[in-house]
């Protein structure tokens, strides 16, 4: 078995910012003068998260430090869950995607929405206490790979902490919603974004960022929770080797890269999974994919592994000192990030108690690692996959399928999983009662086709050909897989126990409880569901009128248990209809009801006559793929959160289309001007392509009827 370790004997030299004078950062686990009533959270209380006094709270992103998303509450259980009803709900003021996990402390619930807003509610009655809007500029949306989403706040010592889509970290007074401090964690001249939830460990707020697809260099940072002062920063990939390395690991990592990768950023952004383990006193950070995607573009002719892409890295939380790493995918070329949730648990393996971390990342393997050393204990596919044939347990490396290296062969490859992964940001949970992990799972194919150059001056720089991918999909014999399910996985025996199939939709994040239940939403039937944790039997459901993909939580007030989840997603369908973004809160005997859905007419295809030569239309398809498809779909079809441009009235005239694409008429909504990237003839070519797609759909009633459905899988990771 492979153990990837470096002796962590160097301390101060390893840090970008020395952490030698940190008395004010709270080096102990207790917070000074923790207030009562609002966000009364410190390390001691989090360590006691399972004690009776704290069992009814949800004080951190995964409920406790282990990020198991398992609650010891039992008042709602398999015998009475059928009596669960809506207690209250609260509507949000944004119709974009919603991914937040609520935080609940002493009767107050804190939740974020798209555009990085925070709401605070009385968790029993639903009365809004305050709202905070960081006023993210609409034009920053172009720097977000996958919508302006946010996954939640952290609570500590009377404050809640928010990472914003435009790269800020903000401390807000938990009682009033007033900002305490507001700092940029990024270089504002570079297209970073923050979508993930902060964690607070030993008085330090830990935050990463996204942007691997935008020519950025990833890193994770720690800030003093009281002052906002930067204490340490650890980069996930090396920078320009002609400049001093920030620490020995960057010097080591640079030897695994070639070419001039630093000019393209490198990627590796830590945009989601961050877990602290008190038992080992280690901070586990998941790192992201390479940027651009094909390794051959980052490093032509290279053979190195490209550290620390697609890795789990263990750091000392107080200093950022490196301890160990495990790389899941060497020379990543498929957007196979390792940023997915990292869960700590004690498992009995081969008759021996092991303290482990578990991860179900994008690449489709379920990993169990020794938490203290990073030793690979086991790794098995939890979905069918074709990019690899297994894991070499002597080296810990995947055994590559040579055909999967589309960046080397120059031939397209239809990979499973696709770039959205077998599991993405949607939280999984682990039940110590059943010994099972509950994973929102996808089994989707996608054709990767190399494009050597990508001179995109704004937006994503992927260096893959969307037109080439579309051409592969036109082959009737091409591999096409698009499945999703909620999967119960045995991490000790590495095998499936049960699944709930959700073809045509996606599974939401999961919550496991000591009441023998697993809660999860979906976008198949826009519902929130409770299942038996041992066998997957469906016991209860509620129509949410919208997709429910965020992670649920449960809490207790005055002896009454509640279950809360954020809803608001429209994977496919009519963009012009509301997506009903809300916080939904349930209890036994709840009698609240949602308003009736608003009647919305189905969109009508009414394109102008076709125009443009085949060459112009082909150019429009290529340019559309590079600049527009991230939001509007890979072949002109929307994923629902953005307009399906075949139906857009703007394609009827060159003037209207230009006003939006070049003149920035909708900048406030996040649709910025592309004048720095596109010429007028490019825009008109895109319009010609879209008109052709609209005419094609209109002439195929079976395909165009009802809610439009994407011909290629939706992008469901959010960095």
Q: Enumerate the domain spans of the chain.
A: 12-17+30-588, 614-704
Contact 161, 225 (CB under 8 A): yes
Q: Which of 224, 335, 370, 644 is catalytic?
A: 335
**The predicted structure's pLDDT at residue 453:** 67
- Over residues 567-579, the mean pLDDT reads 75
Beta strands (DSSP E) in 196-257 are: 199-201, 204-207, 219-224, 230-235
Superfamily in which the 614-704 domain is placed by CATH: Cytochrome c-like domain (1.10.760.10)
Average confidence score pLDDT of the chain: 90
Contact 188, 140 (CB under 8 A): no
**The predicted structure's pLDDT at residue 546:** 93
**Banded model confidence at residue 702, pLDDT cuts 50, 70, 90:** low
The rounded distance, in Å, linking the Cα atoms of 71 and 83 is 19
**The predicted structure's pLDDT at residue 138:** 87
The rounded distance, in Å, linking the Cα atoms of 539 and 84 is 10
Per-residue pLDDT tens digits for 325-337: 999 999 999 999 9
Alpha-carbon distances, residue 597 vs 164, 369, 579, 641 (angstroms): 31, 47, 10, 18
Superfamily in which the 12-17+30-588 domain is placed by CATH: Quinoprotein alcohol dehydrogenase-like superfamily (2.140.10.10)
SS3 409: helix
**Banded model confidence at residue 223, pLDDT cuts 50, 70, 90:** very high
Tokens of 662: 């070049």
Q: Please give the DSSP secondary-structure letter assigned to residue 426.
A: S
The rounded distance, in Å, linking the Cα atoms of 220 and 403 is 34
Per-residue pLDDT tens digits for 490-510: 999 999 999 999 987 899 999
Quote the pTM value.
0.90
- Over residues 242-269, the mean pLDDT reads 96
Number of residues that this document lists for the chain: 719
534 is catalytic: no
**The predicted structure's pLDDT at residue 490:** 99
Per-residue pLDDT tens digits for 65-96: 999 999 999 999 999 999 999 999 999 998 88
**The predicted structure's pLDDT at residue 504:** 79
**Banded model confidence at residue 10, pLDDT cuts 50, 70, 90:** very low
Q: Is the pLDDT of residue 135 over 50?
A: yes
Q: Is the pLDDT of residue 3 over 50?
A: no
**The predicted structure's pLDDT at residue 44:** 97
**The predicted structure's pLDDT at residue 562:** 98
Tokens of 627: 């600049």
Bridge-based pairing state of the strands 70-71 and 507-513 = parallel
- The backbone torsions φ and ψ at residue 561, rounded to the nearest 5 degrees and listed phi first, read -90, 140
- Over residues 294-315, the mean pLDDT reads 96
**The predicted structure's pLDDT at residue 141:** 84
Percent of the chain with pLDDT over 90: 77
**The predicted structure's pLDDT at residue 32:** 37
Q: Is the pLDDT of residue 64 over 70?
A: yes
Per-residue pLDDT tens digits for 359-394: 999 999 999 999 999 999 999 999 999 999 999 999
**Banded model confidence at residue 467, pLDDT cuts 50, 70, 90:** confident
**Banded model confidence at residue 398, pLDDT cuts 50, 70, 90:** very high
Higher-pLDDT residue of 309 and 624 is 309
Tokens of 251: 């010097």
Tokens of 282: 């280690």
- Over residues 703-709, the mean pLDDT reads 40
Q: Please give the DSSP secondary-structure letter assigned to residue 91.
A: E
């Amino acid at each position: 078995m492979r153990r990837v370790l470096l002796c962590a004997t160097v301390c101060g030299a390893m840090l970008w910012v020395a952490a030698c004078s940190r008395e004010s950062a709270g080096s102990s686990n207790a917070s000074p003068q923790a207030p009562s009533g609002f966000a009364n959270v410190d390390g001691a209380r989090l360590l006691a998260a399972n004690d009776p006094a704290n069992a009814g709270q949800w004080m951190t992103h995964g409920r406790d430090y282990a990020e198991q998303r398992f609650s010891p509450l039992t008042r709602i259980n398999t015998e009475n869950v059928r009596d669960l009803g809506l207690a209250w709900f609260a509507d949000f003021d944004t119709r974009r995607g919603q991914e937040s996990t609520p935080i609940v402390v002493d009767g107050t619930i804190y939740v974020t929405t798209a555009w990085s807003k925070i709401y605070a509610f009385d968790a029993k009655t639903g009365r809004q206490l305050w709202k905070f809007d960081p006023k993210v500029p609409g034009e920053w949306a172009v720097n977000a790979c996958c919508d302006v989403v946010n996954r939640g706040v952290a609570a500590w010592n009377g404050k809640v902490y928010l990472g914003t889509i435009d790269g800020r970290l903000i401390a807000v007074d938990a009682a009033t919603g007033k900002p305490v401090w507001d700092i940029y964690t990024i270089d504002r001249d570079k297209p970073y974004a923050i979508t993930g939830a902060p964690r607070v460990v030993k008085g330090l707020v830990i935050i990463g960022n996204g942007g691997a697809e935008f020519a950025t260099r990833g890193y994770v940072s720690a800030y003093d929770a009281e002052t906002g002062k930067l204490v340490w920063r650890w980069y996930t990939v090396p920078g320009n080797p002609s400049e001093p390395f920030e620490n020995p690991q960057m010097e080591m990592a640079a030897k695994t890269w070639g070419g001039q990768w630093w000019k393209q950023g490198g990627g590796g952004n830590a945009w989601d999974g961050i877990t602290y383990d008190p038992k080992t006193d280690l901070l586990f950070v998941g790192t992201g994919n390479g940027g651009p995607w094909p390794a051959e573009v980052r490093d032509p002719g290279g053979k190195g592994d490209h550290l620390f892409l697609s890795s789990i890295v263990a750091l000392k939380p107080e200093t950022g000192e490196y301890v160990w790493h495990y790389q899941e995918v060497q020379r990543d070329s498929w957007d196979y990030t390792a940023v997915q949730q990292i869960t700590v648990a004690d498992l009995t393996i081969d008759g021996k108690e092991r303290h482990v971390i578990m991860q179900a990342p994008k690449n489709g393997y379920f990993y169990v690692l020794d938490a203290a050393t990073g030793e690979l204990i086991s790794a098995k596919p939890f979905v069918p996959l074709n990019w690899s044939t297994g894991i070499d347990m002597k080296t810990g490396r995947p055994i590559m399928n040579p055909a999967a290296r589309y960046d080397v062969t120059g031939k397209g490859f239809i990979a499973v999983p696709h770039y959205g992964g077998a599991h993405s940001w949607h939280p999984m949970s682990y039940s110590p009662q059943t010994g099972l992990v509950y994973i929102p799972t996808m089994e989707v194919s996608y054709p990767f086709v190399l494009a050597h150059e990508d001179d995109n001056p704004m937006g994503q720089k992927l260096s893959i050909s969307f037109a080439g991918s579309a051409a592969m999909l036109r082959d009737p014999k091409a591999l096409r897989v698009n499945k999703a399910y909620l999967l119960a996985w045995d991490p000790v025996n590495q095998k499936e126990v049960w699944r709930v199939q959700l073809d045509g939709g996606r599974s939401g994040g999961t919550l496991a409880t000591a009441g023998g239940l697993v809660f999860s939403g979906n976008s198949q039937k826009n519902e929130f569901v409770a299942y038996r944790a041992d066998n997957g039997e469906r016991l209860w459901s509620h129509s949410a009128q919208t997709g429910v993909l965020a992670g649920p939580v449960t809490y207790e007030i005055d002896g009454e248990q509640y279950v809360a989840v954020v809803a608001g997603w429209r994977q496919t369908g009519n963009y012009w209809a509301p997506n009903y973004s809300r916080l939904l809160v349930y209890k036994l005997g709840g009698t609240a009801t949602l308003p009736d859905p608003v009647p919305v007419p189905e969109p009508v295809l009414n394109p102008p006559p076709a125009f443009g030569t085949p060459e112009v239309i082909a150019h429009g398809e290529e340019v559309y793929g590079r600049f527009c498809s991230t939001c509007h779909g890979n072949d002109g079809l929307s994923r629902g959160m953005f307009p399906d441009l075949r139906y857009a009235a703007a394609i009827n005239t060159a003037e209207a289309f230009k006003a939006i694409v070049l003149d920035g008429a909708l900048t406030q909504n996040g649709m910025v001007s592309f004048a720095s990237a596109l010429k007028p003839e490019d825009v008109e070519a895109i319009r010609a392509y879209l008109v052709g797609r609209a005419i094609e759909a209109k002439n195929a009633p079976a395909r165009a009827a009802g809610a439009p459905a994407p011909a290629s899988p939706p992008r469901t990771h959010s960095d």
